[in-house]
Amino acid sequence: MPAGLKQTSSVVSIGFSVDESAPNTFTQGQVDLNLSPLDREVFVVLAVNMDPFTPDAVAGLDTKVESSLTTTRQTAVQNLANSNCLAASGNFIKAAGFVDGGVSFQSIGAETPPANLEYIGIVATNDFFVQVAGQGNLQPRGVDGKLYGYRATATADIFAALVQSEVLSA
């Protein structure tokens, strides 16, 4: 258990789904955790599983669907280099130069961290955000997934530091 936190729930899984508003259009979804800031409640993230849709196989054209899950609002799909990004995943079809549908690839930021980590992140504000964007697809694509973790209360100084860190790094 991280210092300054007290677990107040068992492990829960929170499902999410975000679909593009139009083909190849960045779209972001917001998922409310219903945390109580008056009780200094936070959500300790243990693991994230993201499943972006398969891109369209278009002869001669590279296509992709990329997704990320972050603790703050974003203007584009993020990667794990962003301090607010807890997970990132993508499906790609490389077909440029091919007369058929090409070859598919998947890129995943570790869905489940090594067992020696206590947690992969802490959400100190009420929401987390899921981003998705395709490229070269004929139909809108999306992402489904689950966030695993538990609720905890933080000491006043830890809560203030977590909220300030999350908000200032947005």
Give the tens place of pLDDT for each residue, 54-88.
999 888 888 999 999 999 999 999 998 998 999 99
**In whole angstroms, what separates CA 32 from the centre of its chain?**
14
Give the tens place of pLDDT for each residue, 81-132.
998 999 999 999 888 777 665 566 666 655 555 566 788 999 999 999 999 9
pLDDT at 124: 93
pLDDT at 118: 84
pTM of the model: 0.88
Cα 53 to Cα 117: distance, rounded to the nearest angstrom: 29
CATH numbers and ranges of domains, the chain: 5-168 (2.60.120)
